[in-house]
């Protein structure tokens, strides 16, 4: 089996390279070496490698910046997946594409989850371009597996958990106010890579939800992470209105992995269990890095 990973320097890209290394011939590229929206470059690179499956972990993931950087977001999130899907339609193989909980409007009362058959209605440019990507893949080829995930974190994360830890370490006495009225399903990128592997081995095709099991708020997520790392902090709940952002976030984007469960393919775990394992594996390094950044 030959696996090619796009966006190979991102959270999921790195973990996909790691998870598939023992199983397959694996290669991967990221910007600037491979832009997935560049059809000529995709054709040359993939034709040389001849993958059985392409895992598309590349995306424009800066949700707020996407509001004003629409063309770049559309290029990575909609044009890129289309180009990759057209490649597998021409040459064979399978495209594993990754999408997001932000395709939903989030108006459902929390914590009732969304399943694969629920109507979409993205509220942000990021969500809209990701939905366009899903649709472009479906239009271009039947040889696809789309996994919608949520609230992703991983060893190379630069996002929410890093920011929370950085603030707690750099200003230990100060109250750390975290949004407590938005609900989602935190997902460890390594577990998601394992889920991709299981889904591939199980012959899955079409659209699946693949997120950490259960639901929490950003406040719960932050407080649990700092507790696991034994970092004393005054974490306080606050409403989302306290942190106005350029891109609207869904109030509830909890995902239910309904199809994975129904088809006996689920390897996702409860979000708090995975966070505990993540903290055990990477917590010490993250803490050291946070303290070095403070010094």
Ligand X SMILES: NC(=O)c1ccc[n+]([C@@H]2O[C@H](COP(=O)([O-])OP(=O)(O)OC[C@H]3O[C@@H](n4cnc5c(N)ncnc54)[C@H](OP(=O)(O)O)[C@@H]3O)[C@@H](O)[C@H]2O)c1
**133 touches 77 (CB < 8 A):** yes
The nearer residue to ligand X, 53 or 98, going by C-beta atoms, is: 98
d(CA 110, CA 87): 39
Q: Which residues of 261-276 are buried (b: 16+ CB within 10 A; e: fewer)?
A: eeeebbebbebbebbb
> Considering only residues 124, 129, 141, 149, which one is a binding residue for ligand X as defined by CB under 6 A?
149
The nearer residue to ligand X, 98 or 165, going by C-beta atoms, is: 98
Tell me the closest approach of the beta carbon of residue 249 to ligand X, in angstroms: 11
Tell me the closest approach of the beta carbon of residue 105 to ligand X, in angstroms: 16
> Considering only residues 60, 87, 278, 286, which one is a binding residue for ligand X as defined by CB under 6 A?
60
Residue 126 a catalytic site member: yes
Regarding 145 and contact with ligand X (CB under 6 A), the answer is no
Catalytic residue among 60, 102, 114, 126: 126
**127 touches 102 (CB < 8 A):** yes
Find all residues with CB under 8 Å of 159, minimum gap 6, and list them.
Answer: 152, 153
Regarding 208 and contact with ligand X (CB under 6 A), the answer is no
> Considering only residues 3, 4, 5, 11, which one is a binding residue for ligand X as defined by CB under 6 A?
11
Regarding 59 and contact with ligand X (CB under 6 A), the answer is yes
- Burial of residue 159 (CB within 10 Å: 0-12, 13-18, 19+) is middle
Regarding 223 and contact with ligand X (CB under 6 A), the answer is no
Regarding 41 and contact with ligand X (CB under 6 A), the answer is no
d(CA 78, CA 176): 36
Regarding 9 and contact with ligand X (CB under 6 A), the answer is yes
Among 105, 189, 127, 106, smallest CA distance to 152 is for: 189
Number of residues that bind ligand X (CB under 6 A): 30
Regarding 35 and contact with ligand X (CB under 6 A), the answer is yes
- Helices 218-228, 271-294: axis angle to 10 degrees equals 70
Which chain residues interact with ligand X by CB under 6 A? 6-7, 9-13, 30-31, 34-37, 57-61, 75-76, 80, 98, 100-101, 130, 149-152, 189
């Amino acid at each position: 089996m030959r696996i090619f990973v796009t966006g190979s320097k991102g959270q999921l890209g790195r973990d996909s390279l790691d998870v598939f290394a023992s199983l397959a011939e694996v290669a991967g590229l990221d910007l600037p070496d491979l832009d997935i929206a560049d059809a000529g470059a995709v054709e040359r690179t993939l034709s040389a490698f001849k993958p059985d499956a392409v895992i598309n972990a590349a995306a424009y993931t800066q949700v707020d910046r996407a509001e004003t950087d629409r063309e770049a977001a559309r290029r990575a999130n909609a044009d890129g997946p289309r180009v990759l899907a057209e490649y597998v339609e021409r040459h064979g193989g399978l495209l594993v594409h990754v999408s997001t909980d932000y395709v939903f409007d989030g108006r459902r009362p929390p914590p009732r989850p969304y399943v694969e058959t629920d109507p979409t209605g993205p509220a942000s440019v990021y969500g809209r371009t990701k939905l366009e990507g899903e649709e472009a893949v479906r239009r271009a080829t039947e040889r696809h597996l789309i996994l919608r995930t949520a609230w992703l974190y991983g060893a190379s994360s630069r996002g929410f958990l890093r920011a929370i830890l950085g603030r707690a370490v750099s200003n230990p006495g100060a109250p750390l106010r975290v949004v407590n009225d938005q609900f989602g399903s935190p997902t460890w990128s390594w577990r998601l890579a394992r889920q991709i592997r299981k889904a591939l081995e199980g012959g899955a095709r079409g659209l699946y939800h693949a997120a950490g099991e259960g639901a929490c708020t950003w406040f719960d997520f932050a407080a649990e992470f700092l507790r696991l790392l034994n970092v004393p902090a005054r974490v306080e709940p606050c409403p989302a209105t306290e942190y106005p952002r350029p891109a609207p976030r869904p109030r509830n984007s909890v995902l239910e992995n309904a199809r994975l469960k129904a088809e006996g393919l689920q390897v996702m775990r409860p979000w708090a269990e995975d966070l505990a394992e993540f903290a055990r594996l990477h917590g010490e390094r993250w803490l050291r890095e946070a303290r070095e950044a403070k010094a």
